Amino acid sequence: MSAYIPDPVVKRLPMYYRYLKELERNNQMFISSTELAKLTGLTASQVRQDVNAFGGEGRQGCGYPVIEMRKYIGKLLGKTTVKKMVVVGMGNLGRAIVRYEAFFHDGYQTSAVFDCQSQKTGLKIGPLTVQHIRDLESVLAENPADIAVLTLPASAAQEMAERLYRCGIRGFWNFAPVDLHLPDDASVVNVHLDESLELLSYRLNQKKRIQP
């Protein structure tokens, strides 16, 4: 379980987890690499390589055991402990993320939400109350968190990330359209929505030129 897993395989783990969870819900006990390939859009050989790389095991003639493999991947993904999140920036995106219930199913819990605008302090977002960012340090000292969700303007993101780092946060889910620079023991995953939309735009553009 402690072996090195290549990054491209790691990036597919959540996808495998998602499909296995669905199979589990449908009470399917085993799945073959061929079936799993069909679901995921990969080839069967790719699936077997991936499973091999992350250390999963199949059973001769049965395929992969669904629940066991789902739990194993869940462990790799750190799903055995609930991760506490704080969300900084209560604009539309921040509020949507707090309300996006899918995140709460599966090992995440939003413990506090912050904004720098005084007029937002005290607003209710789902079960949480918006707190002023000036109280960040005291709130986190009392109730530490694992992950900070940054849904704030590009200009404010780096400084806020450093402040959160000093409060002990090591996971950064960054929606601000900048790349964060943080010490090596921090983990950052970016969701740059603008870049994602532009990638789609590029692909559309290319296909139009091929098939005018």
Residue 60 binds a copy of itself (CB under 8 A) = no
Is the CB of residue 120 less than 8 Å from the CB of residue 151?
no
Considering beta carbons, is residue 60 or 205 the nearer one to a copy of itself? 205
167 touching a copy of itself, by CB under 8 A? no
SS (H, E, C) 139-203: HHHHCCCCEEEECCCHHHHHHHHHHHHHCCCCEEEECCCCCCCCCCCCEEEECCHHHHHHHHHHH
Site for a copy of itself in 116-135 (CB under 8 A): none
**Burial of 69 (C-beta count, 10 Å sphere; 0-12/13-18/19+):** buried
Mind giving me the DSSP string for 20-32?
Answer: HHHHHHTT--EE-
- How far is Cα of residue 102 from the mean position of the Cα atoms in its chain? 11
For a copy of itself, the binding residue among 53, 67, 77, 128 (CB under 8 A) is 77
Q: Which stretch in 26-34, 96-104, 132-140, 158-166 sits in contact with a copy of itself by CB under 8 A?
A: 96-104
SS3 content of the chain, % helix, strand, coil (to 5): 50, 20, 30
Using CB under 8 A as the binding rule, whether residue 196 contacts a copy of itself is answered as yes
Both structure tokens of 69: 């493999």
* Distance in Å, CB of 93 to a copy of itself, minimum: 5
Instruction: Tell me how far apart the terminal alpha carbons of the chain are, to the nearest angstrom.
Output: 51
Q: Is 82 in the site for a copy of itself (CB under 8 A)?
A: no
Q: Choose, by CB under 8 A, the member of 44, 53, 93, 156 that binds a copy of itself.
A: 93
Residue among 71, 79, 132, 163 that touches a copy of itself (CB under 8 A): 79
Residue with smaller CB distance to a copy of itself, 103 or 165: 103
* Number of residues engaging a copy of itself in binding (CB under 8 A): 59
Q: Which is nearer to a copy of itself, 60 or 208 (CB)?
A: 208
Kindly state whether residue 13 participates in binding a copy of itself, applying the rule CB under 8 A: yes
Question: Would you say 62 or 82 has its CB closer to a copy of itself?
Answer: 82
